[in-house]
Amino acid sequence: MINVAVLGYGTVGSGVVEVIETNKDVIDKRAGQELHVKYILDLRDFPGDPYEDRIVHDYNIILNDPEVSIICETMGGNEPAFTFSMQALKAGKSVCTSNKELVANHGAELIRTARENECNYLFEASVGGGIPIIRPLNVALTAERIELINGILNGTTNYILTKMAEEGSDFDSCLKEAQDKGYAERNPEADVEGYDACRKIAILSSLMTGKTVRYEDIYTEGITKITKEDFLYAKKMNKFIKLLAKSRELDGEYYAMVAPFMIGEKNPLHGVNDVFNAIFIRGNTLGDSMYYGRGAGKLPTASAVVSDVIDCAKHGRKHIICIWEEEKLSLKSVEDTSRKFFVRVSEGSEDAVKKLFGDVDKIEAEGITGEYGFVTPVMTEKEFAKKSAELPGFISRIRLEED
């Protein structure tokens, strides 16, 4: 029998216990022996809970119990999750986590500590909830040089953008609807400003490159400035607006960014709607593949944590190789990357538009007066920023993603 401890009995932690108990027969068979949740660490008591007898308040009880070999860290945040995880790994106990913040900040260090102590630090649930993506990158795609990762990595923002597109509503009303349905937090900043997606693409970029990509170095732009008028233009152009998190190799250098993009029907991400997530990957010999599913939620995320627990159980004290070095990777500046831009500008700016951007086609959307839109030629971000600053009547811009 393998004894497991769960740190944090919130949404994901309680889901981990539920998944282990609900699917016990199949989980034990796949793990090769019985899994048993021996402890649940939380500051609170849970009177009446079916597992209240397993609740403990002192982490040292878990750390000092030689019978516990696997720990599920579902606390969230940096501390005390980092300290607890390091102590567990140094004691030879494997750690499985859903904590994207901790993985993004300390992933390489925790993996090294696991390797040094012949145990494992696994984090499938930290990106994409229940979508298998970490293990494919570490196992199924190890023969590939990954050239591109492009994903919809946040269900809250994808839900809001989907509702804005379908209902013609503004951002604030769609955000409130997302909050009412429990898809968005009361303070939604981490989601709507793109910070959540940024941490996730930092993790994927680190696995893509084998070095540490710091989320602080990634250009990040959220969806708060997207308007219902933008969707009228998108509909006219047969485009879709999505918050994309992307990482790409260009001439031996890498860049990463999070921002809203207009994408076309040929892009496989265009049909990913509501709270669903998807990750598109391009390998140099495999070509394109995509991974789709629920990117968050109690049971999907818990299922991913338990899949890591099973992996740890199967491998025992054998370390599972994960190439993620602590050396920091310097990213190429987004300013030097090139693309087209969709621009909205006030009527009367035609001469200035032609002077700065050439003979572009005017795009007019039904129900919008006093302005029009156009698509620029391909240019660098730096060049566009300079030209748009000189453009009288400039209203806004959205990047265009190549199909």
pLDDT in tens, 53-77: 999 999 999 999 999 999 999 999 9
Binding-site residue set: 7-14, 100, 185
Burial class (CB in 10 A: 0-12, 13-18, 19+), 149: buried
Q: Residue ranges per domain, the chain?
A: 2-129+298-315, 137-294, 335-400
φ, ψ of residue 161 in degrees (nearest 5) = -65, -35
Residue 129 — pLDDT band, cuts 50, 70, 90? confident
Tens-digit pLDDT profile for residues 210-260? 999 999 999 999 999 999 999 999 999 999 999 999 999 988 899 999 999
Q: Among all chains, which residue has been given the structure tokens 């890591």?
A: 308
Tens-digit pLDDT profile for residues 344-399? 999 988 999 999 999 999 999 998 999 999 999 999 999 999 999 999 999 999 99
| Residues near 25 by beta carbon (within 8 Å), at least 6 away in sequence | none
Asked if the model's pLDDT at residue 151 lies above 80, the reply is yes
- Cβ-contact 248, 255 below 8 angstroms: yes
Task: Tell me the C-alpha distance between 167 and 152, whole Å.
Answer: 21
Mean pLDDT of 19-23: 95
Name the H helices within 125-257.
134-135, 155-167, 171-180, 189-192, 195-209, 228-236
Asked if the model's pLDDT at residue 402 lies above 80, the reply is no
**C-alpha neighbours within 13 Å on the C-beta side of residue 248:** 16
Pairing outcome for strands 379-380 and 338-346:
antiparallel
| Residues near 83 by beta carbon (within 8 Å), at least 6 away in sequence | none
Domains 2-129+298-315 and 137-294 equal at CATH topology level: no
- Cβ-contact 393, 346 below 8 angstroms: yes
What per-residue confidence (pLDDT) applies to 250?
A: 86
For the chain, percent of residues with pLDDT exceeding 70 = 100
Binding-site residue set for L-homoserine: 185
Please give the CATH topology (third level) of the domain spanning 137-294. Dihydrodipicolinate Reductase; domain 2 (3.30.360)
Residue 332 — pLDDT band, cuts 50, 70, 90? very high
Q: pTM for this structure?
A: 0.94
Asked if the model's pLDDT at residue 186 lies above 90, the reply is no
- Geometric angle at alpha carbon 212, from 209 and 214, rounded to 5°: 120
Mean pLDDT of the chain: 94
What per-residue confidence (pLDDT) applies to 235?
A: 94
What per-residue confidence (pLDDT) applies to 295?
A: 79
Buried b (16+ CB within 10 A) or exposed e, 332-343: bebeebeebbbb
Q: Which of 93, 163, 200, 211 is catalytic?
A: 200
- Cβ-contact 260, 239 below 8 angstroms: no
What per-residue confidence (pLDDT) applies to 403?
A: 57
Contacts 24+ apart (CB under 8 A), 23-30: 23/306, 27/306, 27/310, 30/310, 30/314
Examine the residue annotation and report whether 235 is marked as an active-site residue of this protein.
Answer: no
Buried b (16+ CB within 10 A) or exposed e, 284-302: eeeeeeebbbbbbbbbbbb
Task: Report which of 157, 149, 356 is spatially closest to residue 257, judged by C-alpha positions.
Answer: 149
What per-residue confidence (pLDDT) applies to 99?
A: 95
Q: Which CATH class is domain 2-129+298-315?
A: alpha beta
What per-residue confidence (pLDDT) applies to 251?
A: 84
Please name the CATH architecture into which domain 335-400 falls. 2-Layer Sandwich (3.30)
Binding-site residue set for NADPH: 100
Burial class (CB in 10 A: 0-12, 13-18, 19+), 33: exposed
Q: Among all chains, which residue has been given the structure tokens 């500008």?
A: 345
Mean pLDDT of 23-30: 94
Mean pLDDT of 80-101: 97
Binding-site residue set for NADP(+): 7-14
- Cβ-contact 275, 156 below 8 angstroms: yes
| Bridge partners for 35 per DSSP | 2
Tens-digit pLDDT profile for residues 260-280? 999 999 999 999 999 899 999
